[in-house]
Amino acid sequence: MYKSIKFCSNYMLPNTLFMGQQLLFIAACASTNSEAQQLLIKNEATEGCTVITHKQTQGRGQRGNSWEAEPGQNITLSVILSPSFLAVRRQFYLNMAVSLAVLDLLREQGMQKAQVKWPNDLFFEDKKLGGILIENTINSHTLQHSIVGIGLNVNQLRFSSPAATSMANVSRRAFDLEKVTMRLLELLEKRYLQLRNGQTDRLKVEYLQGLYRYQEVHAFKIGDQEVQGQILGVNEEGRLAVKIGNELRYFDFKEIAHVINC
């Protein structure tokens, strides 16, 4: 079994029960989600096992989108969870819990305007700070394992896309990457335990409170058509409820997109 590997001389494990207590640091890899998957296949991971890298060469986002990250400047990690208590049809509650954990971190660091952009991005105003990719395996009607990939722009200052930003750009200061990473794992455990304890109503309320453009009228793109709509909620399957005209419609991932002018 992998042992904890220190990635700097004064490295400390997070103050958690299990999240990040088994930690594997890899200087560079194709994808931390892929590395975590191999640990599961080899039965070498306990719940909370975390894979961290400073350089991800084939990082991916939701539905195959690429993820840009400057080596050694950002958080790039994957956590292995075993949410067997969660029914497959309610799996989006895990997205809510993880999104709120990252949002908690950002707000602790002074970014009160940080929001969750459905389904799994972190935004500050109209720019992307980070993203989440959760890959689940199913056992009958419940989740068996979940690999939670989190990418968060921390100290990177320049991006090829004008739609991206970082904690450093927003706060105008640099962050201790190790401390921020460990704090993220602590907050992730807190939110995950809320989920495990059945506090789904609380998670949904807080998720909606932090949801980008919630209950505001904005432009959306559906296929080739641009429409005006108002987000009114998210159901437990993760479908976005948008009121368009007098009709309330539900959309799955990639069926609708925000129109954002940066």
Domain ranges of the chain: 23-210, 216-258
Q: For residue 11, what pLDDT is reported?
A: 56
- Domain 23-210 bears CATH identifier 3.30.930.10: yes
Is the model's pLDDT at 8 over the cut of 50? no
Token pair 């990418």: residue: 151
Token pair 């590997």: residue: 5
Is the model's pLDDT at 69 over the cut of 80? no
Exposure of 227 in the CB half-sphere (CA atoms within 13 A): 18
Q: For residue 6, what pLDDT is reported?
A: 42
Q: For residue 150, what pLDDT is reported?
A: 97
Is the model's pLDDT at 188 over the cut of 70? yes
Q: For residue 5, what pLDDT is reported?
A: 42
Is the model's pLDDT at 115 over the cut of 80? yes
Annotate the chain with DSSP letters as a single string: -PPP--SSTT----SSSSTTTSEEEESSBS-HHHHHHHHHHTT---TT-EEEES-BSS-B-GGG-B----TTTSEEEEEEE--TTSBGGGTHHHHHHHHHHHHHHHHHTT-TTEEEETTTEEEETTEEEEEEEEEEEEETTEEEEEEEEEEE--S----SSTTB--HHHHHTS---HHHHHHHHHHHHHHHHHHHHTT-HHHHHHHHHHTBTTBT-EEEEEETTEEEEEEEEEE-TT-PEEEEETTEEEEE-TTS-EE----
Across 85-91, average pLDDT: 96
User: What does the pLDDT look like over 49-60, one tens digit per residue?
Assistant: 999 999 998 865
